[in-house]
C-alpha cells in the first residue's frame, strides 16, 4: 500500500472516532471543541500542503482533497476551516518570494491562514473593493480598508489580503499578520450553516508591510488574479460537497433501514429508493469531478479550472437537493434540530456563495468553453 493510502486510512479512523461524535455539538455550540482543534494541530492537518523543507507533509492535491472529503463526511465546518487554510498556503507557495515563504511557511504548521478578498462593495466583482495599498517613499506598502466574510477571520494569524494599488489601480495580494500595528478583527457573520467555522471581518488601519510581502503575479496570465486562489479552492470545496453528500447518504440509509412505515422498512418503498438513488448519484458525480480536477492540477494541466468550477457549482446544487431529499425521507424528524439533516442542507447552501457564487461559476464555465 502506498503512503497516501495509509494516510487516508488513518484520516478515515480519525474522522469517524474523533470528529463524527461532535458533529451535532459543533453545529449547536457554533465552535469546534478545543480538544479537537488541538488534535488537528497535533496530527499535522495544517501541514498537508506545506513542503517537506518546512516540516510539512507536502501531499499531492489528489490526496489532500480526498482527506478533506473524508473530514467533511464527519463534519463540514472542520473541513472548511482546513480548506480556508490550505488554499491560502497554496497562494503563498505559488506567488510568494523566497524571503516571504521562509518567513511564514513553518508557522503554517501551527497557525491558521486565511484569504481575504470580499468587502461590502466587492463580493462577486472584486474590481470594486476599496482596500488600498499605497507605496511609501521607503518602498514599504501602507494598507487601509475593511474585509468581511473571511473564512477563519478572527481565528487566523496570517492573512493574504487583496488590495488595490494606488500607483496603478491594479489588484494585488499582500501578506499581513495579526501582530502588525493597525490590524484588528471586526464582526463575525451569523451564518445559518457551517456554524463551527468562524467567518468574519478584519480591519486594516494604515498597516505597514514590507515590499517583499506583496505576492508576485507579474508573469501570471492563466486566470484572473481573483481566480488564482479560487482554482485550488474549488477542488477542495468539491471535496467538501462530496463529503456532505456522503454524510447525508449515510444518515438516510441508516434511518431507512431502521424506520418502519406500516409493515415495511423505508428503504423498501420505491419513493424512498428513488431519493437514495438521486443522493448517491449526486455524491458520486461530485466526487468524480473534484478527483479529476485534482488529478489535472497535480499534472499541472491547464484546463483543470473548468472542472474544478463544475465540481463546486454542480456539487453545491446537488448537496442542497440531497439534503432536501433526505429531509423528506426522514419524515418530520428530518425537520428537527435533533437530527443532522437540517444543518447538512445549510452547510451545503453556504457553498453556493463561498469561493464564487453559483451564478458567477456558471458564467465562468460557459466562457471557458466558448473561448476554448
Ligand X SMILES: Cc1cc2nc3c(=O)[nH]c(=O)nc-3n(C[C@H](O)[C@H](O)[C@H](O)COP(=O)(O)OP(=O)(O)OC[C@H]3O[C@@H](n4cnc5c(N)ncnc54)[C@H](O)[C@@H]3O)c2cc1C
> How far is 5 from 19, CA to CA, in rounded Å?
20
Binding of ligand X by 117 (CB under 6 A): yes
CB of 227 to ligand X, least distance (A): 11
Secondary structure class of 87 (helix, strand, coil) = helix
Looking at residues 152 to 191 of the shown chain, list those that interact with ligand X (rule: CB under 6 A): 191
Give helix 76-95 / helix 341-350 axis angle, nearest 10°. 20
Binding of ligand X by 360 (CB under 6 A): yes
Q: Which of 26, 150, 171, 344 binds ligand X (CB under 6 A)?
A: 150
Q: Which residues 6+ apart lie within 8 Å of 123 measured at CB?
A: 149, 357
Residue 234 or 275: the one with the smaller Cβ distance to ligand X is 234
Residue 261 or 363: the one with the smaller Cβ distance to ligand X is 363
Please provide residue 168's backbone torsions phi and psi, each rounded to the nearest 5 degrees. Answer: -130, 5
> How far is 63 from 47, CA to CA, in rounded Å?
13
Q: How many CB atoms lie within 10 A of CB 128?
A: 12
Q: Which of 64, 327, 344, 354 binds ligand X (CB under 6 A)?
A: 354
Task: Report residue 322 as a C-alpha cell.
Answer: 440531497
CB of 153 to ligand X, least distance (A): 7
Binding of ligand X by 353 (CB under 6 A): yes
Looking at residues 274 to 293 of the shown chain, list those that interact with ligand X (rule: CB under 6 A): none
CB of 368 to ligand X, least distance (A): 16
Binding of ligand X by 72 (CB under 6 A): no
Question: CA dist 46 to 67, 121, 155, Å?
Answer: 12, 31, 14
Binding of ligand X by 230 (CB under 6 A): no
Q: Which of 20, 33, 55, 123 binds ligand X (CB under 6 A)?
A: 123
152: nearest Cα among 70, 87, 223, 246: 87
CB of 161 to ligand X, least distance (A): 9
Neighbouring-strand partners of residue 185: 202
Residue 154 or 255: the one with the smaller Cβ distance to ligand X is 154
Secondary structure class of 348 (helix, strand, coil) = helix
* Residue at grid coordinates 463544475: 310
Residue 78 or 149: the one with the smaller Cβ distance to ligand X is 149
46: nearest Cα among 173, 201, 132, 156: 156
Residues 194-223 as x/- pattern, contact with ligand X by CB under 6 A: x----x------------------------
| Residue ranges binding ligand X (CB under 6 A) | 84, 115-118, 123-124, 149-151, 191, 194, 199, 350, 353-354, 356-357, 359-360, 363
Amino acid at each position: 500500500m502506498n503512503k497516501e493510502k495509509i494516510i487516508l486510512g488513518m484520516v478515515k479512523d480519525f474522522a469517524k472516532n474523533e470528529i463524527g461524535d461532535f458533529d451535532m455539538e459543533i453545529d449547536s455550540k457554533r465552535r469546534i471543541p478545543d480538544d479537537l482543534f488541538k488534535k488537528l494541530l497535533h496530527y499535522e492537518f495544517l501541514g498537508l500542503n506545506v513542503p517537506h523543507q518546512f516540516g510539512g507533509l507536502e501531499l499531492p492535491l489528489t490526496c489532500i482533497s480526498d482527506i478533506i472529503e473524508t473530514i467533511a463526511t464527519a463534519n463540514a465546518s472542520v473541513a472548511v476551516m482546513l480548506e480556508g487554510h490550505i488554499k491560502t498556503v497554496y497562494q503563498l507557495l505559488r506567488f510568494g518570494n523566497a524571503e516571504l515563504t521562509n518567513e511564514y511557511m513553518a508557522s503554517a504548521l501551527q497557525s491558521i491562514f486565511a484569504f481575504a478578498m470580499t468587502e461590502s462593495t466587492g463580493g462577486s466583482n472584486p474590481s470594486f473593493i476599496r482596500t488600498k495599498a499605497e507605496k511609501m517613499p521607503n518602498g514599504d506598502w501602507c494598507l487601509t480598508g475593511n474585509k468581511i466574510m473571511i473564512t477563519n477571520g478572527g481565528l487566523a494569524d496570517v492573512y493574504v489580503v487583496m488590495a488595490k494599488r494606488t500607483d496603478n489601480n491594479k489588484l494585488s495580494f499582500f501578506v499581513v499578520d495579526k501582530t502588525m500595528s493597525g490590524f484588528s478583527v471586526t464582526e463575525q457573520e451569523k451564518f445559518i450553516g457551517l456554524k463551527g467555522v468562524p467567518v468574519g471581518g478584519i480591519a486594516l488601519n494604515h498597516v505597514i508591510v514590507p515590499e517583499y510581502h506583496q505576492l508576485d503575479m507579474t508573469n501570471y496570465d492563466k486566470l484572473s488574479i481573483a481566480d488564482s486562489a479560487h482554482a485550488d479552492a474549488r477542488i477542495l470545496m468539491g471535496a467538501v460537497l462530496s463529503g456532505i453528500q456522503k454524510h447525508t447518504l449515510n444518515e438516510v440509509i441508516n434511518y431507512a433501514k431502521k424506520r418502519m412505515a406500516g409493515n415495511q422498512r423505508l428503504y423498501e418503498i420505491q419513493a424512498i429508493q428513488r431519493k437514495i438513488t438521486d443522493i448517491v448519484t449526486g455524491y458520486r458525480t461530485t466526487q468524480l469531478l473534484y478527483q479529476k480536477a485534482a488529478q489535472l492540477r497535480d499534472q499541472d494541466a491547464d484546463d483543470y479550472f473548468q472542472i474544478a468550477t463544475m465540481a463546486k457549482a454542480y456539487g453545491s446544487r446537488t448537496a442542497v437537493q440531497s439534503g432536501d431529499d433526505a429531509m423528506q425521507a426522514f419524515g418530520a424528524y428530518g425537520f428537527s434540530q435533533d437530527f443532522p439533516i437540517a444543518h447538512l442542507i445549510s452547510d451545503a447552501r453556504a457553498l453556493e456563495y463561498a469561493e464564487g457564487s453559483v451564478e458567477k461559476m456558471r458564467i465562468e464555465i460557459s466562457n471557458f468553453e466558448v473561448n476554448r
